[in-house]
Structure 1
Amino acid sequence: MMELLLNPSQSHPHLHHDEHNSMEGKCAEKVHVAVGKSVQKATTLLQWCLTHFKNTHICLIHVYQPSPLIPTLLGKFPASKANPGVVSAFRKEEKEQIMKLLDKYLSICLEAKVKASIAVVEADQVQKGIVDLVNGHNIRKLVIGAIPENFMNVKRNSSKATYAVKNTPSFCEIWFIYKGKHVWTREACESPHSLSSCAQPEVTTAESLSSRSVQYGMNELSHSECLQSHSERSTICNGIGSLIQSEIIETEATFPSKSSSSSRHCSSQSSVARSVDSLSEVEEERVNCKVVEAKREADTATEKAFVELLKRKRLEIIAIEAIRKVNLFESAHAREAMLKKETEDALRATIQDQQKCLGENKEIASELQRAMRSIALLDSCAQETNRRRDEAADELSLIQASILTLWHEKQQIRRQKMEASRWLERWKSRDQVEVTHCNHVIGFAEELPELAEFSLSDLQNATCNFSESFKMREGGYGCIYKGEMLGRTVAIRKLHRHNLQGPAQFHQEVQVLGSLQHPHLLTLLGFCPEACSLVYEYLPNGNLQDHLFRKNSVSPLTWNTRARWIAEIARAFCFLHSSKPETIIHGDLKLETVLLDSALSCKICEFGFSRLVTQEAIYPSSFRLNTETKGSFTYTDPEFCRTGVLTPKSDIYSFGLIILQLLTGRTPVGLASEVRRATSCGKLSSVLDSSAGEWPLAVVSRLVELGLECCQQNRKDRPEITPTLVRELEQLHVSEERPVPPFFLCPILQEIMHDPQVAADGSTYEGKAISEWLKNGHETSPMTNLKLSHLHLTPNHALRLAIQGWLCKS
């Protein structure tokens, strides 16, 4: 038994006097209260005790019944058949729950400021545990719950109360409580040593019950003597059989008295009426005696029959309990059989899956053999392809030589057309023909032999004398107007006159710019020396700045579109930087100078302006080497700010910032440093523009790498825009649209392999991926999970050539 003691912080100053129970003078004694798992019943019982036993040490008695069944994953098993570890854990959890429950009961005593303790005993039956505690610790006062019947006696199936009454020593006084009300009390003897004075505990119990008034239902105590006899028999039904014995003793004691009185009555009659015949008197006395004897025998038989009836009822209850247990065992057996069947089914399914996996392994092995044969075939095809590629390279060299010859011839024809156009203009001026009719002779810009030279009046008519309503924007070199000329909408850039070079040199540079024809360069239609203006084609879809930051509520740009724009800008600058005889440097590349046509293709404007204006206009003396040259300062090459020398690497720096802007959708200020930090920390996705969709890892990695290389502070560390780089950028968005052959993908990374390596299992993997796999201690195949015969890797040259050929075709 385990006992815990709890002392309250302070006791009650007054003691309550109960008019129904004389508790005065007993406050210092200990009262034991039997509490169970029902919090509501135990709380009601404790409240009654705290009301009637104030300032008394309360000892809470609880009988811990270990559960016979242990819950497991396969159901409930008897404790003897379950795993000892599982049983121990379950018992520990049961005891913890009991202690939590007893803590609640102790808190009730603590709130009432009553000294309290706990006594816990382990037993299979609650009533037996209570009786053992009473016997083992000489408990004098016990409070227990009971269930009344007809508000008078304890219910017949209240086995705890009946067992306690029958088996507890007589020195223990027991109070039976129901729903917070006192039902009845079994009084005790003077001391535990006075048991010898009582012949039988059962007789004492019966006498105590018969002599004790019941407090529960006091308004119904006006029953007749017959009802009291019925109450005594009801008490016998609860296991108090000694009451029958006492009644039998009383009955036997009554009959002699009646016999003696009858004898006295007969003798008195014989003394008064002596004349009666003596034989009649004797006969009458004998009959009376027989009647009394018969009545006594009838009462005895009735009591015996009643006892037999009680025994039969008790046996019926035992039989019902046995049947219930049998049903429980049968249901448990059925549950065990069902679980056994389910386990067998699961085992059978596992075996089938294993057999299926073995079959799949065989199929994979056969497919691997076919793949090896295919690889050998691809190797031979690759050799044939290499031979044809060499032949095509020779033919390409011849074609390039022919193209160069044709280009020289085309340049010569253009010069001849330019000279003819000048003669035509002179002829028209002699005949006083207005220049406005020039379009009827020359036609559209596509039909002009070379750049058209317009007069100031032509531009004034097209722009309403350079009206502010026709002005589109104002840049570093001048204003841009929208006008109508040559039967189409054009953009007219009016340059500041004080920034231009001499007329002859200006005319020469404009002709050079007009000769630059490229799909991604804004087409120069003509010029006007009088107004220092250039006439370009008009593009209605704005520039990259408007689309990237959605100024006109345009739809978000997908990653594919952004990657295509980067490739188009690179192709345009590859053309400008490789122009002959002199390299064309833009010098002012930014999002605003990249326009979009009707097909949303990029066209770069304002290229070659550094050839038109003076060096002072490009780099004013008032700014020296510390301020921006033109346009947005954030796109300006840091090397140019320090040295004042404009090179193609200056355009590459601006191109790198545009790449990072298209990736992140952010402003260029400090963008390169921010992307570089995110890349080094492995948080590149945090700076990418989520409106572009999910960027492919290969695409975004290459673009970020290129953008950061272009934004290097030292121009020597920046890459050059070569045709090879342009083709690589064009493949970034094209390759994602074509389905990739599955044998081009690495089984580990699921990406196109650039360095295919054959492992011992016959499968081909990306070199870095399979090397990391082997370095991490794996000696099995990533495909089959079988142990590799060796850890050597063999380059798959045939597959590498096939992948490269597929990428080139893409």
Structure 2
Amino acid sequence: MELLHPLPPHRHDPPLAADALHRYSPPPSTSSRVEFHALATPPEAAAEEDKVHVAVGKSVGKGATLLQWAFSNFTNPHILLLHVHQPSPFIPTLLGKLPASQANPEVVSAFRREEKEQAMRLLDNYLRICRAAKVKASFMMTEADQVQKGIVDLVVGHNIRRLVIGAIPEGWMKVKRNSRKANYAAKNAPPFCKIWFIYRGKHIWTREASEKPCSLSPCETIETEGTFAAESTTSSGPLPQNSAESSSDTHLEAEEERVNSQLVEVKQEADEAADESFVELLKLEAEATEAIRKVNLFESAHAQEVKLRQEAEDELRTTVKDQQKLLDENEEIGSELQRTMRSIAIINSCVQETDHRRDAAEDELSLIQASISTLWHEKQQIRRQKMEAIRWLDRWKSRGQVGVAHCNGVVGFAEELPEIAEFSLLDIQNATCNFSESFKIKEGGYGAIYKGEMLGRTVAIRKLHSHNLQAPSQFHQEVQVLGSFQHPHLLTLLGVCPEAWSLVYEYLPNGSIQDSLLRRSNISPLTWNIRTRWIAEIASAICFLHSSKPETIIHGDLNLDIILLDSALSCKICEFGFSRLVTEDSLYLPSFGLETEPRGSFTYTDPEFQRTGLTPKSDIYSFGLIILQLLTGRTPVGLVGEVQKAVTYGRLSSILDSSVGEWPLAVATRLADLGLQCCQQYSRDRPELTPSLVRELEQLHVSEERPVPSFFLCPILQEIMHDPQVAADGFTYERDAITEWLENGHETSPMTNLKLNHLYLTPNHALRLAIQEWLCKP
């Protein structure tokens, strides 16, 4: 059943005053309200000539047609889109569509928000069309139960003068009856609004405007109504000739005003009655629609219930079958689970047994590794003891205390010393990741230095260039020489790899003394005590090399770059004896020390080298330059002349390095004199490095103001111990002193005079470190 939507009754035109009141007052509406506006336009702005209002609906295609027509027929228009949002009286729910009054308020509110969002998206589409056409556009939207009434309300409320609206024509210049919006707008829109009716992009009719809009509110219109009528009447008649005519005119005007007032009241009553009838008709229409909807809803619900019941029965039968199938599968899975649990129990027992075996193997491996480490340390200790024995025998030989036969036995004993460790090429490659660039520390003219892990410690591996080496036999001979002695201030050679022409040394993390002087390392600021101790340690190492038997070992390239620092800031000389490893042509190249950049000059080279070649006095000359450089902190170029001049004129303190603190004058003077003596032009004028001179240098860095702890002094020499050794009596002595005591045939303790249980000596590392730490303090 289709319900007809009747139009409001046609209103006859009232007299002038009443008609004016009707046109300037917005028509009452009980079902229409303005919800929100995208553009709040005052009536004065809306009256501008370039504004064109276009009524658009839910069909974007039809609305776009109206916009295209407006774009084509108006020059530079300002398009204002009019849209009336008509809330749906029914709310969709799970049970179907229900009246808004019967639905859940929250559901109604959510549905209303969704409707408004759809309306805003619709207007966004229209605005995009306007932007694409480069036309200025805005919109106004209101909410009303009837679209046509909402359009008229917007026209009245905003004094809209030009409106474009869609229409459906029946014939030429005639609007069809079922086009309710266009028909309603044509009949009820204020006369000041000019309306264009468009169908499919074609203009079919125009309702011309008959007067201008009024900006007064309804209250203002009622207040000025009598004045307006009186003025109109007065302006139409001639001027009064006498008082009788004036009285007659006044009476006529009052009568006319009374009649107009009655007409206005009658019109208002008629309008109210028409509106009430229209509202009542809408209510009846809504009730009929609701009844039909309920009937349809009940029928649909019944059909849905029958369908759901059938589906539920089918689902129940399927579920029963699936349940029975699951029960069967459950039984089968249960039996399979039992078999799996038995297998897991067997596997667990095997895993536990394997774990026990693995733990036992790991424990055994740890023991083996510990044993290997212990054996390695014992081997090193034995090698040091044998080397000490060789030194004792060499001293006895030099003093004439042993015969020739005994000396031959000593030589044989030296030949029987175990060789240093030899590593395969695979060992070296594994330690350096096949000589990876990431493991390379530095590279020089004689080879590259790599950092690696071997023998359970960090090592430095020097890979020599084969073209700088002599015959392999000479290489092995020199390696044996380097590995045949041990000294606390000489870099220890741990092993060799003949296949890779590589030497394995202990790794020292603190760089060289040159790095410390140039602030290229992370070592804390140096003091004069430390520098003086370094001079003593370097002198001790050179004295050891020069006193070696049967051949004197000459370093040949002493400089600050090849003197390295260990973790205790004790120095160690590296690259000693390498003059035998290089050819005569390569001898003039920079040494391949840890500093790999070429120095460009042989500043430390003996001036007599070209005439005499390498001699022990060549190392003495380099040692003198090292003393002067540590004393002044300057480069060695021209340093000898500067120090000689300062000493001659009594201005030695002016060239001392003040960054290490205040040098004691006696210490600085002694070191400057020794450095100048070592740097004499002729080698015959340079001093020898003797043990007594080394001891004197070792005492220089001890401050006279600080008392030396008694346990730092050797009981025999009453001097600070440099290499403390524990004897069988439990006392600690300087190595040289207790060794000389035992060599002289004493088998008793120097302290208790009791016989010693054995003659072995054990290094006292803890006391040695304590002495070094005390000496390093300013």
Which structure's relative contact order is higher, taking Cα pairs within 8 Å and 6+ residues apart?
A: 2
Judge same fold: TM > 0.5, yes or no. no
User: What TM-score do you get using the length of structure 1 for normalisation?
Assistant: 0.36
TM-score w.r.t. the length of structure 2 is: 0.37
